[in-house]
Amino acid sequence: MTDQLLTVDEVANRLGTTARFPRRLIAERRIVFVKVGRHVRIPERALEEFVVAHTVQPIVARRRFGAVA
């Protein structure tokens, strides 16, 4: 296993949120996690996949025909 396991606090720090947000993701089963005894860890790859899956691409505005610049 080469994937680093992150704590909830480490995930929150990387996302720039409080620990409450990753805990909610775990509770709602919206992110992959690992239980190590009673501790919860999130694989680094799962965090990257979550971010990629929820990244919104910008809309490319098309110029309208006849629009004045």
Give pTM, 2 decimals.
Answer: 0.79
CA distance 28 to 8: 14
Q: What is the pLDDT of residue 1?
A: 55
> pLDDT class for 62, splitting at 50, 70, 90?
confident
Q: Which amino acid is at 69?
A: A
CA distance 23 to 19: 6
Task: Give the pLDDT confidence of 8-46 residue by residue, as tens digits.
Answer: 999 999 999 999 999 999 999 999 999 999 999 999 999
> pLDDT class for 68, splitting at 50, 70, 90?
low
CA distance 35 to 2: 17
CA-wise closest residue to 8 among 32, 40, 54: 40
**What radius of gyration do the chain's Cα atoms show?**
18
